[in-house]
Structure 1
Amino acid sequence: MGHYIQTEEHVTLFVEDIGSGRPIVFLHGWPLNHQMYEYQMNELPKRGFRFIGIDFRGYGKSDRPWTGYDYDTMADDVKAVIYTLQLEDAVLAGFSMGGAIAIRYMSRHDEADIKKLILMGAAAPAFTKRPYYPYGFLKKDVDDLIVQFRNDRPKALADFGQLFFEKHISPEFRQWFQELNLNASPYGTIHSAIALRDEDLRKELGDIKVPTLIMHGVKDKVCPFDFAREMKRGIKQAKLIPFEESGHGLFFDEKEKLNNEIMRFSR
């Protein structure tokens, strides 16, 4: 079942809502949409979980405003969904940029209605290198990527997608994955890249008080495993599970393991 939910800014968000039981709210990565969780949608509802997948503004079937791609606004959008659906004791699960926005939600909205947090290959606590944080891309790398998006977005997305998966993927899967990326708003893709480049969540990790599961690919070339160590160090009730055979796309590289750990943790 799909919902269209309006935020206070009158931006309409599409939300996929499947199954019943403990709600798990999934936040997708950049520049994907909730359909990246196909292999979780197939399994979780038949195991007693309610899958709730949000398309962020600018992505999937949601509205595509010019502004609002900073983490604060995106976290407020998540709050609108949780409030409208009247969720309580939910699990919040974020992948990559979605993991970063999940952390901002927890700090900005005082963990409202969230009982547990799952961070998967999260682009946190910061996506780019900065003083006392030697991990991730250089800010110049992201600037270069933005230039490529402005010149040839399909090629830039295809090249970036080469970094995602560790296991062999079929040409058909790669085409499907590219279509998810291309479905995003072009300016939303760029504005989100700017947020990824500039946002810093290091001081917010200590605000998270709920049990937190960190799952991260050891071979991640987009958000290096050092990110996971930093999150584990900063979040009080965090458990870190390395995914030894995964790159960034652990939702497909080791989907059975991911699904099992999500279900075990979320009960």
Structure 2
Amino acid sequence: MYYVNVERGVKLAVYDLNPAGKKTVFLVHGWPLNHMMFEYQFDLLPKLGFRCISIDLRGFGNSDAPWNGYDYGRLADDLYEVIRMIGVSEMTLVGFSMGGAIVIRYMSRYKEYKISKLALLSAAAPCFVSREGCPGGLPLEQVNSLVAQISRNRPQAIYDFGQNFFAQPVTPPFAEWFRSVTLSGPGYSTLKTAETLRDADLRADLEQITVPTGIFYGVLDKICPKELPLTLNRKIRNSKLFPFEQSGHAVFYDELEKFNQEFSSFLTS
């Protein structure tokens, strides 16, 4: 692990496995997690010859947690600073859930800088909340209730949210570990990013994406229902759907072996 300064007084934790890898993949975690959610991809990708990079977004994990900067524009700026520092000519950019929304904003805001391929995993986009002209997300009342509960009882709010995360059973030790990851950031960064999830609209950003894009989603997803990836597929040129029939929001884990196989095939194609 090392740190990259993304603005004055703010540094992000960067995890860089197999720097000698011939291809680079950059993974961006979701809400309210950190880089550790990709543990079972980190075990595989370096073995396949990839340089595997991830970060803790500001406000989560080992990164700094300033009071401000939790909109998608600033979070995309943070990605740019890290990608610019890495210095490779091209890479595959991967975003899960809120991370999927952030990488979409990055692709639009920075004209796909250094990115040759994009992977969206259970992406919270183009709109996490259903609205006129952008159906398929969660009801506004449900997300407002989540935001309010975070302000009163964050552990319970995260626990309740997590009940819809996996479609397949997980062991009690795994569930305990995963909950510990979801509580890795302070309350205010968790709250502010939840508000961004609720309020952001990325429809205009989708028009700027031209690189080959894989859209990976769980058919049983209750957090980002399948209407969202179907919309992404319609709006992003040169995109392909990768459905997982027995997976929920945790598409990276519910059908782990199948996901890793299809994900790695996409990366190497």
Using the size of structure 1 for normalisation, the TM-score is 0.98
**Deviation of residue 144 (structure 1)?**
1.1
AA at the equivalent of 1:7: V
2-side partners of 1:223 and 1:192: how far apart? Answer: 16
1:138 corresponds to 2:142: no
Following superposition, which runs of at least 4 residues in structure 1 exceed 6 angstroms of deviation? none
Matches within 5 A, 1:58-207: 58-207=59-208
Aligned to 1:18: 17
**Deviation of residue 257 (structure 1)?**
1.9
CA deviation string 1:94-137 (max 9, x = no partner):
00000000100000000000000000000001100111222111
Kindly, what percent of the aligned residue pairs are identical?
Answer: 47
AA at the equivalent of 1:10: G
1:248 corresponds to 2:249: yes
AA at the equivalent of 2:6: T
CA deviation string 1:70-94 (max 9, x = no partner):
0000000000110111122100000
**Deviation of residue 51 (structure 1)?**
1.0
**Deviation of residue 68 (structure 1)?**
0.4
2-side partners of 1:30 and 1:116: how far apart? Answer: 23
2-side partners of 1:147 and 1:263: how far apart? Answer: 39
CA deviation string 1:185-216 (max 9, x = no partner):
21000000110001011111111010000000
2-side partners of 1:9 and 1:30: how far apart? Answer: 24
AA at the equivalent of 1:93: V
**Match of 2:143, SS?**
helix
How many residues of Structure 1 are paired with residues of Structure 2 in the alignment? 266
**Deviation of residue 48 (structure 1)?**
0.6
- In structure 2, the gaps of 5 or more residues are none
CA deviation string 1:172-194 (max 9, x = no partner):
11101100011112100000011
Cα pair 1:44 1:259 within 8 Å, conserved: no
Aligned to 2:5: 6
1-side partners of 2:209 and 2:63: how far apart? Answer: 28
1:259 corresponds to 2:260: yes
AA at the equivalent of 1:198: D
Aligned to 1:217: 218
Cα pair 1:66 1:187 within 8 Å, conserved: yes
1-side partners of 2:88 and 2:209: how far apart? Answer: 19
Using the size of structure 2 for normalisation, the TM-score is 0.97
**Deviation of residue 262 (structure 1)?**
2.2
AA at the equivalent of 2:68: T
Aligned to 2:47: 46
1-side partners of 2:88 and 2:189: how far apart? Answer: 28
149-158 vs 232-241, greater mean Cα deviation: 149-158
**Match of 1:251, SS?**
coil
AA at the equivalent of 2:11: T
AA at the equivalent of 2:7: E
53-62 vs 131-140, greater mean Cα deviation: 131-140
2-side partners of 1:241 and 1:258: how far apart? Answer: 9
**Deviation of residue 33 (structure 1)?**
0.3
CA deviation string 1:198-256 (max 9, x = no partner):
10111111110100000000000000010000000000000001111100001110122
**Match of 1:7, SS?**
strand
